Amino acid sequence: MKLITELNENMKFVTEEGREGQKTMYIVGPFIQTEQKNRNNRMYRCESVSREVKRYVENYVDKNRALGELGHPDGPSINLDRVSHCIVSLKQEGNDFMGKAKLLNTPMGTIARNLIENGVQLGVSTRGMGSIVEENGIHIVQDDFYLATAGDIVADPSAPDAFVNGIMEGVDWIWDNGLIKAQKVEAAKAHINEVAAKVTVTHSKKDLEEAQLRVFQHLISNF
């Protein structure tokens, strides 16, 4: 199965006050959209996503275990040191699945809250695994789709992040003693992350393109 991530930007940030005056910030909006081609040229079938969301809600949301991270994780597993929020609801409305996530008082949750309060526009990125079949030029996500998390908090991906995520989406993932691991390019992944981290906004477009080319050549040489 392939790692699949989707960015949804139409989010709202609301603050709710509890009975004791304690304020909590939430992210609300369409976490998953189906039956339409998205900007990644992929389409999810509502029936298969509905079935998977039901499992996710029962096993994670209802048990207060539906966690999400701040940033772009490179695999389907949840990294507890990067957790920023907890998804408290995920409900179907037509072909969309509307979510609500509570920002936590973790280091990453505090960073996300500060970004939002200072006007930074963030989005929610779903993360899962599944097979993809091309039909009439559109990549259709198949019925084996597995939802790892209904939402990570992300900014619109920069070129280095998008490049790394694109590579990782091409990796095959397998179950190994209860853990989800990459089947290939684990060694290449470390090099990809190292190079991408060095390519900052202070570099020129040419520097970025050259760095991406070097990473790509390194990756190909490992197959």
Both tokens of residue 174?
Answer: 């397998």
Cβ neighbours around 79 below 10 Å, total:
13
Decide if 131 contacts 142 (C-beta within 8 A). yes
- The span from the CA of 11 to the CA of 125, in Å, is 11
pLDDT score recorded for residue 10? 82
- Higher local confidence (pLDDT), 5 or 104: 104
Closest CA to 127 of 2, 6, 1, 32: 6
The yes-or-no verdict on residue 80 having pLDDT over 60 is: yes
- 8-58 pLDDT, tens digit per residue, is 888 888 998 877 778 899 999 999 999 998 888 899 999 999 999 999 999
Angle between helix axes 186-198 and 159-169 (nearest 10 degrees) is: 170
- Higher local confidence (pLDDT), 177 or 83: 83
- The strands making up 96-103's β-sheet, listed across from edge to edge, are 12-17, 23-33, 96-103, 83-93, 67-69
Decide if 116 contacts 24 (C-beta within 8 A). no
Q: Which residue has 């509502």 as its token pair?
A: 46
137: amino acid identity, one letter: G
pTM: 0.69
- Which residues have CB under 8 Å from 183's CB, separation 6+? 171, 172, 173, 174
Decide if 48 contacts 147 (C-beta within 8 A). no
103: amino acid identity, one letter: L
pLDDT score recorded for residue 203? 58
- 95-139 pLDDT, tens digit per residue, is 999 999 999 999 999 999 988 888 888 888 888 888 999 999 999
pLDDT score recorded for residue 197? 59
56: amino acid identity, one letter: Y
pLDDT score recorded for residue 160? 35
- Higher local confidence (pLDDT), 123 or 69: 69
- 159-205 pLDDT, tens digit per residue, is 333 333 443 455 555 555 555 555 544 555 555 556 555 655 555 55
